[in-house]
Chain A
């Protein structure tokens, strides 16, 4: 079984995505042997009221509970975010919370961020942090977002020792720094932008943080799925128990996904 931890649905304002509807994504998953996906909403990132994107995500995926685990995208700068979070988690069953400070226009040290983190910890949900949606060098003139900065995230982790963090679509992660911030055992990293060969990012992170820290991810439908399938093929020589963790076990465990 393979679970893709780095998946999005909804149109993207700056480039055509071939497979952005839930139906199209299901077809893409089937063609690539992906059994499930941790799915985020792109409209939540770009709507003024992110929660309307959460609502769309819930409506589009509610009939596929074994294929999708949905992520609530929260804008803690927006009025009523506490009620939105409550509805997403308690009514719609969303199992993780994503923050997009650059897209939503706030800083990590804004006071409402601490309140939001407190609520996420209280719900015992993972915080999803996407380093970037696309490469900055090709940005649209209206795309002002910057890549997330690791130092700020490590400060967040250090200051919130019960916070679990999913590093989605990151590269250049230093496992030692993550371990020093106390993230061993409370972080998950998808390997879509990491190398198995050449720089051996995946092995270095496993050395610092354990095999439980790595999960399959492809960044669909932005990116081709093939690169991540090739990485998984290369990892097939690992111990079957460890391989299964990367294919799906770590995702199921980290996001506490009951797929029944």
Chain B
């Protein structure tokens, strides 16, 4: 892992805030030093929280930055946020959402965006290869291409339930390569949301797959990404090989402690899924030992990533 480059980061911070009117630009120059100065003294936050090492295991490159007309603004903002929050590495994908059964070309283009971001920010961005399992052998070819380009895992969305046999060939390839499989998840209770995402997997679907493939490094995405997180955590009690990532826009108190209590802290991986201050803040707020916090912030993920077969 390459060390952070402070000079580069501050340049990025200044550039990134250019979209804000001049009145607030003064924030840019002082942003990181201010965090360093204040974090040592602000009640409620651990000392020097910004310097704690962090791997964000669930994030995204949303724009088609591989194309000439693609805007880098959102990627630059994410890099800037990572720098300020002390997130060393962002593990990103570009899933095709809405249950769309995207063809191979569309999937390839989505992954090309992530590859372009990896090349532009090699020290900061790593890639998950998004796959649409319905594309059959073409999915496996796309996975090979992604891995050849340096991606480190697979991302699935809600085209199929994670336990659907159509996913098995991808799972088997992940096991062979020693890479993690991260999938969108939620235990939705709202009829409108269920109708919008009928094939979103919940934790019992993850358990079903994990029972068949216990050697798979399977990550249940965004435990607080919308959906009943208490249900989701309890559903994983008996499936010891499934990890959860902590991301999502929901910041409800007690969730991280429940993950640790029910699953053990080694199965919990820090992530933000674009809720970056919130994602960091809830790990800082949770009742954890310093060792547990460090494991969740990066060490558990590092162990997973080290299993990749060369």
Contact = CB atoms under 8 A, between A and B. Distances in A.
A236 B35 contact: yes
A234 B35 contact: yes
B23 interface: yes
A157 B39 CA distance: 39
A112 interface: no
Given A18-B254, A227-B281, A230-B45, A198 B34 contact: no
B38 interface: yes
Nearest to A192: B251
Contacts of A134: 250, 252
A45 B21 CA distance: 40
**Chain B interface, >50% SS class:** helix
Interface residues of A, number: 49
A151 interface: no
A226 B285 contact: yes
Given A135-B226, A138-B228, A203-B20, A197 B77 contact: yes
A230 B43 CA distance: 11
A221 B175 CA distance: 42
B42 A137 contact: no
Contacts of B275: 195
Contacts of A141: 189
Interface string B68-87: 00000010011011001100
B252 A223 contact: yes
Nearest to B39: A233
Contacts of B157: none
B211 to A, nearest CB: 26
Interface in B21-75: 21, 23-24, 26-27, 29-31, 33-35, 37-39, 42-45, 49-50, 74
Contact of A136 (B21, B50, B190): B190
A236 B284 contact: no
Interface string B200-221: 0000000000000000000000
The 8 A-B residue pairs with the shortest CB-CB distance, nearest first, are A33-B43, A226-B285, A227-B281, A32-B44, A237-B30, A226-B281, A237-B34, A137-B226
Interface of A: 15-19, 31-34, 134-141, 193, 195-200, 203-204, 206-207, 219-239
Interface of B: 17, 19-21, 23-24, 26-27, 29-31, 33-35, 37-39, 42-45, 49-50, 74, 77-78, 80-81, 84-85, 186-190, 192-193, 226-230, 249-254, 274-278, 280-286
